[in-house]
Amino acid sequence: MCEFCLKHGEGKKWYLQANNYSDDLLSDIRRREYIETFFTKTEEVKRHIQRLDQLAKAPAIIRTVARRIITGRMKKDHFGQVVPIEDIERIFGFVNSIVRVACFCRYVTLGTEKRYCYGLSLSPDGGGLGQIIRGLDNSFLTGPDTSGFESLTKEQAIADFRSHEKEGLCHTVWTFRTPFIAGICNCDQVDCLAMRCTVKHQIPIMFRAEYIAAVDPDLCNGCRQCMRLCQFGAISYSAANGKVVIDQARCYGCGICRSVCQKDAIRLEERRTVPAAAGLW
């Protein structure tokens, strides 16, 4: 279990606790203000990206201190976790509103609208989160041929997520002033600042999943399709036995590799039950 499960989930998966999505948490005025201003900080976020690139060239001691400060601050404000599609379905099972909106990361990095993010609420109309999203600056929410945000049924949303898996995108839940969870994004290492920061710069602003992948060598035929989708470089091919193997130290447990496996050879195991991976977050 990650530390959020212990602090915000009573020892269970914290992102499966309905109260972490509640309007009660959103009634905190500072949290509402944080969300409202979050989506206006395009230029500030661009400056952060430049600083991260500069930090990569700094001495190790400075990088270590900066990592502690940034990760500590983000855990309080805006932190994520990789979540496989089974748990996404569980989340969709108890929320009452799902809206699809433009991804802020892609808006900053690409300057264009990519609808990879999903706002969640326990209220049928989106509740307080819906009010905030509707009030956001139109330049972020609307592209040339779209309007505002789309309300989706649970079935539509899960179909979207399956389609994102085929694109190799990794599902992540996000807090806005922890432990309030406002939504799920679909990330890649090139365009998503959080994943870039966590994986490339080694400054964690999201946890790995509560799971880890394993390959059944009796089922794997060595087609290597799964390697194409793994964003973390966790899968390698053994020419000696004609099968793939998963590096547990690299695997984030996203489960995306399974979406292309015709042999059903990859399964997810609970991270806490795999000693070599239980402490890797």
Chain residues that interact with ligand SF4, rule: CB under 6 A: 213, 215, 220-226, 229-230, 232, 234-235, 244, 246, 251-257, 260-261, 263, 265-266
Q: Which is nearer to ligand SF4, 133 or 194 (CB)?
A: 194
How many residues would you count in the chain? 281
Q: Which is nearer to ligand SF4, 95 or 268 (CB)?
A: 268
Amino acid at residue number 61: I
How far apart are CB 216 and ligand SF4 at their closest, in Å?
Answer: 8
DSSP 196-256: IIIIIS---SEEPPSEEEEE-TTT-----HHHHH-TT--EEEETTTTEEEE-TTT-----G
Q: Which is nearer to ligand SF4, 129 or 261 (CB)?
A: 261
How far apart are CB 200 and ligand SF4 at their closest, in Å?
Answer: 15
3-state secondary structure of 155: helix
Q: Is 176 exposed, middle or buried (0-12, 13-18, 19+ CB in 10 A)?
A: buried
Q: Which is nearer to ligand SF4, 74 or 226 (CB)?
A: 226
Amino acid at residue number 49: I
How far apart are CB 86 and ligand SF4 at their closest, in Å?
Answer: 12
3-state secondary structure of 27: coil
Q: Which is nearer to ligand SF4, 133 or 220 (CB)?
A: 220
Q: Which is nearer to ligand SF4, 182 or 235 (CB)?
A: 235
- Distance, in Å, from the CA atom of 3 to the CA atom of 1, rounded to the nearest integer, reads 7
Q: Which is nearer to ligand SF4, 45 or 260 (CB)?
A: 260
How far apart are CB 218 and ligand SF4 at their closest, in Å?
Answer: 11
How far apart are CB 41 and ligand SF4 at their closest, in Å?
Answer: 30
Pairing of strands 235-238, 243-246: antiparallel
Q: Which is nearer to ligand SF4, 108 or 235 (CB)?
A: 235
Give the rounded distance of the alpha carbon of 152 from its chain centre.
19
How far apart are CB 232 and ligand SF4 at their closest, in Å?
Answer: 4
Instruction: Identify any residues that bridge with 199 across adjacent strands, giving them in sequence order.
Output: none
How far apart are CB 167 and ligand SF4 at their closest, in Å?
Answer: 13
Pairing of strands 266-270, 181-187: unpaired
How far apart are CB 229 and ligand SF4 at their closest, in Å?
Answer: 6
- Distance, in Å, from the CA atom of 212 to the CA atom of 278, rounded to the nearest integer, reads 9
Q: Note whether 103 and 116 are within 8 A (CB).
A: yes
- Distance, in Å, from the CA atom of 239 to the CA atom of 245, rounded to the nearest integer, reads 11
